Structure 1
Amino acid sequence: MAMTNRPHALMLAFPTQGHIKPMMQFAKIVSARGFHVTFVNTENMHEKMLKSGSIQSMGGINFETIPDGLPPQHGRTSQIDELCKSITNNCSPHFEKVIDKLNNSADVPPLSCIVYNGVMSWAQKSAKRLGIPGVSFWTASACGFNIYISMPLLVEKGYIPLKDKSYLTNGYLEDEISCIPGMPTLRIKDVPSFCHDPTNYMYEFVETQCQAALLADFMVVNTFDEIEGSIIDTLRARIPVYSIGPVLLSVAEETDGLSASIFTEETSCVKWLDSQEPHSVIFVCFGTMAVISERELVEFAWGLEASMQPFLWAIRADLVRGASAVLPVELMEKVKGRGLFVSWAPQVEVLSHPSVGGFLTHNGWNSTLESICAGVPMICWPFYAEQQINRTYVSQVWKIGISMNDYVTRGVMEEMVRKLMKGKEGEEMRRRSAELRDSSIKAVKKGGSSYNNLEKILEAMEGRKDI
């Protein structure tokens, strides 16, 4: 296909690992289907990806960068509200300059569509101006999106905002919510915590961006019908929406794969896993943004030690709030040979390893999907945003995990690990996890629900068919 005849997808990702990773995977799929793809990063994120080597795995993808409006030394993900505000206020004019540059270049085909992250909905205006499809890619869970667009309903019903801080501890968070379309009865604590307080900038940001996402020509979600089909059906009353996930499986089906990590992975841990018994290892990772206290770090560690299970723990340098992640010497001696600590792990490879039998996770959507795709049950300890509702679906709806209390103690940690790895309840979760793993694989195979949806949306992105 001649360069000028190829459809051209312009892709815009929000600059955090959780959003970048599935967007990169989708970009590789779209490129493999014959599209010319231009991927727009912020300058800061692009630099991180260059250092980690993930850009090198994106052969065939063209990159452009825009400033995020923040100084180089800014913490960004550790000050997420400031990052969101700066991107919303500063990025659109720079994105328009990229569009003008591409459309005035004889070396690339004219733009056919714009695929933008669901929390960067201002890009829809650019698509409308150009008269091309604007595609909102919701990289998190469909249940998370449904919660966010239901915030006005929850306000109307009086569930949020909380009346005062006493409602955090007086039992109110256990009250049930049964008014959200397409969802089971939930607790108020399942709603993202920033939704409790309208003075929190993230409340305004998420509500505004998600309502604006409904104005897209259509939306794609990194999920599959077998786990979130009822929510997708509910959302279709508001917007044409299609499940196309798990994109991590689709990209493996259609390409030679990619590394989408912003951290350098310590692949040597896989050799250590090779020496462990099948389904014996608990993998621990709280993602790229979660921060914990020194007390929580120590309680998690002693609980893992007491469980007597082998464990692999990815501990980022900035995992502990305001301090270094240093564990007691006595503990390190006790777990020597049974516990392995790395700064970052190749998570998909680790979860897919036959020695891994459980995953202690923050329930970010990428981590949750990766665990589902590997058939590994979870211990759920959410940190932020829609991770709370992901936990509820993992533990209560899909029944492939155990929900852990927010307040961590070593005794509870030990009990959770033993229950998951050795108990009858854990055996049933492992069986159910294997069923969902098989369903996820089926969804992306030819004739599967996500495969068929992908065919439809690629035609729409190319402008050959309306949805």
Structure 2
Amino acid sequence: MDFTEVATKPHAVCIPGPAQSHIKAVLKFAKLLHHSGFHITFVNTEFNHKRFLKSLGPNSLDGLPDFQFEAIPDSLPDSDEDATQDVTLLCESIRKQNFLVPFLALLAKLNNDAISTSSNPPVTCIVSDGFMSTFTITAAEEIGVPIVLFYTIAACSFMGIKQLRAVVEKGLAPLKDESCLTNGYLETVIDWIPGMRDIRLRDLPTFLRTTNSDDILVEFGWGLANSRLPFFWVIRPDLVIGESAILPPEFVAETKERSLIAGWCPQEQVLNHPSVGGFLTHSGWNSTVESLTAGVPMLCWPFFGDQQMDCRYTCNEWGIGMEISNDVKRDEVEKLVKELMEGEKGKKMKNKVMEWKKLAEEATGPHGSSSTNLDNLVNQVLLRKS
């Protein structure tokens, strides 16, 4: 590619929220833009940039001549932990616009490089995670380029988040005390959201993270074991502390011939394997979409963020999942696993999820609705001259 081609190529700076699921979603979108002819600069926090290098090797972020990775500080204390940082501290840092100055400095550097070298074109647009908009909109206005806010959650969850202020104003939150978690109060119906029926207070997105204790995970594990079915169980390192703390020797002995336990997996590859009959998920939006597009029904165990709303729609609106209660008991898990894999309801869910898979394939085909929407976004917004 000669200098003229580089200089005239559209240049999108893509910045995700500094958490694993957000990074993955924005990275996929960045790849679509790259395929559409954009030069891409993908911006992680220094913390997550280091995690990539530690996990994938020192050359893993070298990128391509027209797909480069950069990093900016997040103002949080340095850490070598291989886990998402404290969500409250991250949100506070974003809200205070601690990212703005380093982000503007990076944009200036990219534009200066475009003048002094032939390595990249000037920045022509910004694609920002919607949760980073407190500073990215300001930055886009500062350099005079269009910006797109990409929310890495479902539309139903976005609508749920929009109701949180009203929930407080109506006196439904904050909760009076811990008894509200168990006395049925969370079943209070939220009936004012346009186009959304039968939503309960507990379905709304929450940033109060519940904890997976060792006891709960052991109880769940024995439910898997008692189903007598083969399983692959991925236990992330930041989910619990130490494998030995949650997997007693008798569990390992009981399941060793029909189980595989790991700390990580290439989830999309696993879900698309023909031997997979069901997926236990916390119901994050990435996982929900990946399971749906692979044609795999779900057992849903939500505990944070948008997961409750995703679970509600997966199980009650789309008919492709069953929910595990927060008070996890091995008998319930055993029953749900067997129903998912062998029962009549499981068969109906499988048929239903295959219908959704077909619709997803049509939408993302060459002339599908999603492909058309992406083309319109690129041509009418991202390529718009300021």
TM-score normalized by structure 1? 0.76
Q: Which residue of 1 aligns with 2:325?
A: 405
* Contact kept in structure 1, 2:299 and 2:321, CA below 8 Å: yes
**Structure 1 residue 304 and structure 2 residue 224: aligned?**
yes
**Structure 1 residue 414 and structure 2 residue 334: aligned?**
yes
**Structure 1 residue 118 and structure 2 residue 130: aligned?**
yes
Question: 135, 138, 154: which one pairs with 2:148?
Answer: 135
Structure 2 CA distance for partners of 1:465 and 1:157, relative to 1, 3 Å = farther
* Contact kept in structure 2, 1:291 and 1:320, CA below 8 Å: no
Output the amino acid matched with 1:99: L
Give the SS at the match of 1:355. coil
Question: 65, 69, 73: which one pairs with 2:79?
Answer: 73
Structure 2 CA distance for partners of 1:25 and 1:193, relative to 1, 3 Å = closer
- Relative to structure 2, which stretch is displaced further, 453-462 or 379-388? 453-462
Quote the sequence identity (%).
44
Q: Which residue of 1 aligns with 2:280?
A: 360
- Relative to structure 2, which stretch is displaced further, 82-91 or 25-34? 82-91
Q: Which residue of 1 aligns with 2:105?
A: 97
Q: Which residue of 2 aligns with 1:205?
A: none
**Structure 1 residue 159 and structure 2 residue 205: aligned?**
no
CA deviation after TM superposition for structure 1 residue 461, in Å: 4.1
Give the SS at the match of 2:278. strand
Q: Distance in 2 between matches of 1:440 and 1:305?
A: 34
Structure 2 CA distance for partners of 1:148 and 1:324, relative to 1, 3 Å = farther
CA deviation after TM superposition for structure 1 residue 146, in Å: 0.8
Superposed counterparts of 1:36-435, under 5 Å: 36-53=39-56, 55=60, 58-59=63-64, 60-73=66-79, 77=84, 79-89=86-96, 90-105=98-113, 106=115, 107=117, 108-121=120-133, 122-194=135-207, 292-320=212-240, 325-435=245-355
Q: Distance in 1 between matches of 2:146 and 2:73?
A: 25
Structure 2 CA distance for partners of 1:166 and 1:301, relative to 1, 3 Å = closer
CA deviation after TM superposition for structure 1 residue 154, in Å: 2.5
Q: Which residue of 1 aligns with 2:31?
A: 28
CA deviation after TM superposition for structure 1 residue 325, in Å: 4.5
Give the SS at the match of 1:119. helix
Unaligned runs of 5+ in 1: 195-201, 203-288
* Contact kept in structure 2, 1:173 and 1:188, CA below 8 Å: yes
CA deviation after TM superposition for structure 1 residue 158, in Å: 3.5
Q: Deviation digits for residues 272-320 of structure 1, max 9, x if unmatched? A: xxxxxxxxxxxxxxxxx98511101211111001001110011122321
Q: Distance in 2 between matches of 1:117 and 1:94?
A: 17
What's the C-alpha RMSD, in Å, of the aligned pairs? 2.1
Q: Distance in 2 between matches of 1:344 and 1:25?
A: 19
Q: Distance in 1 between matches of 2:38 and 2:8?
A: 10
Q: Distance in 1 between matches of 2:384 and 2:147?
A: 14
- Relative to structure 2, which stretch is displaced further, 91-100 or 322-331? 322-331
Output the amino acid matched with 2:74: D
CA deviation after TM superposition for structure 1 residue 58, in Å: 4.7
Structure 2 CA distance for partners of 1:175 and 1:391, relative to 1, 3 Å = same
- Relative to structure 2, which stretch is displaced further, 39-48 or 70-79? 70-79
Structure 2 CA distance for partners of 1:322 and 1:52, relative to 1, 3 Å = closer
Q: Distance in 1 between matches of 2:264 and 2:243?
A: 18
Superposed counterparts of 1:6-25, under 5 Å: 6-25=9-28
Structure 2 CA distance for partners of 1:382 and 1:426, relative to 1, 3 Å = same
Output the amino acid matched with 1:304: L
Q: Deviation digits for residues 85-131 of structure 1, max 9, x if unmatched? A: 22443211100100111122223222211111111012011112222
* Count of residues in Structure 1 that have an aligned counterpart in Structure 2: 373
CA deviation after TM superposition for structure 1 residue 463, in Å: 2.8
Output the amino acid matched with 1:335: T
